[in-house]
Structure 1
């Protein structure tokens, strides 16, 4: 059983006006909120403990999670970005930033998947010689994606910057090196760059559907994918 961090603290500015009164993770897609879909993936992969961070309209997310076996990492005072948010949540995940307590899973809730559970697939592919394993999606199959790709894969499955693969928003990563980054607010891209330089960041490719639900027009695209 691996700990799971779900990043739900974003402002959702691209999703306005839907996010004027509702945090993006609580937007329904196909009759189920994005956050509940993410939690379903975690449950299906046997994840635990599960932590959700909050910032914008965080009280709405906390109320939505009330009574569930899910911890909330409150970032009400200052949004910490993905790296800072994960580091703050490590005690709730049973991990420490200064020691190797084992890898954790992270998941972005603002995407919709079909096919194999991405967290379960990452868990099955994880090896002890990895420090990060990212789930990638070919750019041509990245529905509603705006922008270029993020990574390429070399012949050994290691990732390098720039290429025709999109980071799908699911990964397994060792958090111990987070303690080496002095900033309070920072992106996990900082940690990825360290691991890529050392050849310890890997990727696998999702073989199902994937949709980036980042703006209102992406919702019907995701729902058509789910209905296919």
Structure 2
């Protein structure tokens, strides 16, 4: 089942990009002539997702103007104050008007299979409350630091260091049930405690992206992504 809506996370400050985000939002930085936001929009369209919601914060007017041209049907969830990933998704749920939903980070570059299509093909609501797209740590180009999860043979996830299995990085795409966000006090919270609660309940799973993936969170990530796309 393909979820009917996707939340594109695009509200970050982009401080790791330095001068590149002084006068523009990070999602409008171009890789091989195409903005990161347009690449995320293309993935959503390619997966047949009908409703697209994009959150904004820094340089919001530029984001609004770009979306009016590139994706006039997209809805905007503006955050005057940053709400982090969990809070941002919770705020956008009325606009998304679907359950479950995709989420997609706007600062990743992918090649190979569409990650949203892969997620939809793997999603099993009888077992899962969230399904994360993963990349093996050794293949996570541009990613600094260790992996995030271990995966059991059936795809069930545990936190890094909790099980003797392969080490994976969260690649910035998932399917998640709206109900998984319930019970968090206050509007600002990360998805990490949500995932921890789902791990404890045995309801967090992962699937592996079989293609190139680059984290474009720093300036050097642009060249790494362009090189990956050229290959």
| TM-score interval, smaller chain | over 0.9
Q: Report the counterpart of residue 99 of structure 1 in structure 2.
A: none
Tell me the equivalent position of 2:75: 71
> With structure 1 as the length reference, what TM-score do the two structures score?
0.95
Query: Which of 15, 38, 41 is the equivalent residue of 2:17?
Result: 15
Question: 2:175 — aligned with what?
Answer: 172
How far is 1:113 from its partner? 0.4
TM-score (structure 2 length as normaliser): 0.93
Equivalent residue number for residue 3 of structure 1: 5
Whether 2:122 is the aligned partner of 1:119: answer no
- Where do 4+ consecutive residues of structure 1 move more than 6 Å? none
Q: Deviations over 1:63-93 (max 9, x none)?
A: 10015110000102x1100000000000100
Q: How does 1:25-64 map to 2 (within 5 A)?
A: 25-64=27-66
Partner of 1:192: 195
Number of corresponding residues: 221
Looking at structure 1, the residues matched to 217 and 9 of structure 2 have their Cα atoms a distance apart, in angstroms, of 14
Structure 1 residues 140-219: aligned runs within 5 Å:
140-162=138-160, 164-219=167-222
1:23 Cα deviation (Å)? 0.4
Q: Which runs of 5+ in 1 are unaligned?
A: 96-101
Indicate the residue corresponding to 1:98 in structure 2: none
Q: Distance in 2 between matches of 1:89 and 1:70?
A: 12
Instruction: Name stretches of at least 5 consecutive residues in structure 2 with no aligned partner.
Output: 162-166
Q: Which residue of the partner structure matches residue 164 of structure 2? A: none
CA distance in 2 between counterparts of 1:178 and 1:207 reads 29
Partner residue in 1 for 2:105: 108
- In 2, distance between residues paired with 1:190 and 1:199? 14
Deviations along 1:43-78, one digit per CA (max 9) or x if unpaired, are 0001121000001111110110015110000102x1
